[in-house]
Amino acid sequence: MEYVYAALLLHKLGKEVSEDGLKKVISATGVTVDDAKVKLLANALKNVNIDEELEKAIAIATPVASGSNAEVKEVKEEKKEEASAAAEGLSSLFG
């Protein structure tokens, strides 16, 4: 997870999420850097709009304010499925 946290930190600070940046952030925490993981993550995030993906994650986590209970349950189930699929995709990066 420290690799993802490092990417989020770089993004939050307006820095490029690059191999070099990830290595610097991760090594600053005292963790031994796995170059393969860094390279994989940097390449995976190269064409990703992180702000857009974070908004999607927030939308998934935010309960629906209106609608019947059945509609709310259906929307939550759909969002759980989307979140699960996204989590599976991210976990495959670190297999």
- Indicate whether 78 and 55 sit together in one domain: yes
The number of folded domains in the chain is 2
- Distance of alpha carbon 68 from alpha carbon 75, whole angstroms: 11
- Indicate whether 19 and 62 sit together in one domain: no
- Indicate whether 13 and 55 sit together in one domain: no
For residue 43, the 8-state DSSP code is: H
Question: Has residue 45 got a pLDDT over 70?
Answer: yes
SS3 9: helix
- Indicate whether 13 and 44 sit together in one domain: yes
Q: CA nearest 6: which of 87, 14, 68, 23?
A: 23
* Amino acid 44: pLDDT: 93
Residue 76's domain spans which residues?
49-95
* Amino acid 77: pLDDT: 72
Last residue of a domain, one of 31, 48, 65: 48
pLDDT (tens digit per residue) in 22-32: 999 999 999 89
- Distance of alpha carbon 95 from alpha carbon 93, whole angstroms: 6
Residues constituting the chain: 95
